[in-house]
Structure 1
Amino acid sequence: MAHIDLGVDETQFPGITGPMVYRPETGKPLNELAEVLLRGQPHPLTPGERELIAAYVSGLNECTFCCSSHSAFAAAQLPTGMELVDQVRGDVDGAPVTPKLRALLHIAGAVQESGRKVTPDLIAAAREEGASDLEIHDTVLIAAAFCMYNRYVDGLATFAPSDQESYTASARRIVAQGYSLP
């Protein structure tokens, strides 16, 4: 049970959706930010790659709901699905991703620890692999935003479903409709 009464059935509005329904005036801009960062087009990174960054950071933050949901969202939009998500989360250096995406994931991991951990060497490595300023910017912002989203979800002790089907169903909705308040 959440630390506060969200005024909703948490099983129907799990994770971040409960607090967003509870306070739609803050939920709306948070959803709009997620929509722009994770699905906005045109963008050199695919929505699946951007969701993978969100899932990776959420895993590092040990946020069950966000990691599970964004892993499902990434898997639904990546050619090799959950297999790739699991490989990245288990061993980013050994995962079969492009060198550019690996370099961006290293930046995201640094942001998760502290923004000050993003070094000129990490930026140079990403640029050497072809990352643009937009990709670097958005990777940092996705990682920073998901540190906030993760802390929002866990700080209120929201409900996280234990069954994978809940996340898979949400993934179908996100892929089809995007991020909007329920």
Structure 2
Amino acid sequence: MTVMTDRPHMLTEDFEAVARIAARAREGTRLEFIDGVIRSKAMPDGDHQTIIEWLTRICMQYRPELWLHGGQGIKAEAYRGGRAIPDAVLAPSKAFAGQGDWVDPDPILMAVEVTSWDSDTHRRDHVEKPRAHAETGIPVYLLIDRAKCEISVYSQPNGRRYESTHIVAYGKDVELPEPVGITLQTEVLKDWVR
């Protein structure tokens, strides 16, 4: 894949206008703009949503001052010219009030992705998103991979990539490092795979 760093497909402002039109024209169409390339994001299925619900309950129990915001568009990448829609982000409950469709990522403690079954899942969730979130400075990126039955925890962003990646199989406990500071018991995730 060619990354268009010198000449994106379009300006960020133009992308935002197209994304708004697509969302209104076909309910559920979600577009992202990473590395100057427009990508569509699959609609979540029932198991996907159940995993987000499971994670929301855990976050509420251990970090009640925070909220797991679902589907929030964020300004991504080093210069914030990208636009990403993580499945959820952990941030203070009113962190994005008044910001519109694409919010400043500074208050985000963790971005979350749950893999979908579309063909570009690996490239998007394992390559592009970790890089974009690390460039943005989001402290933790949690990837719940339903095809591999694994959880990847990326941490210690250095402005280009995450310096630490910890991968565990479903069924094992996994610690989300500070500033999140939650341990997930992942046995239940085995119920939500195909």
Q: Same fold (TM over 0.5)?
A: no
* TM-score when normalising by structure 2: 0.30
Which gives a bigger RCO, structure 1 or 2 (Cα 8 Å, sep 6+)? 1
Higher strand share: 2
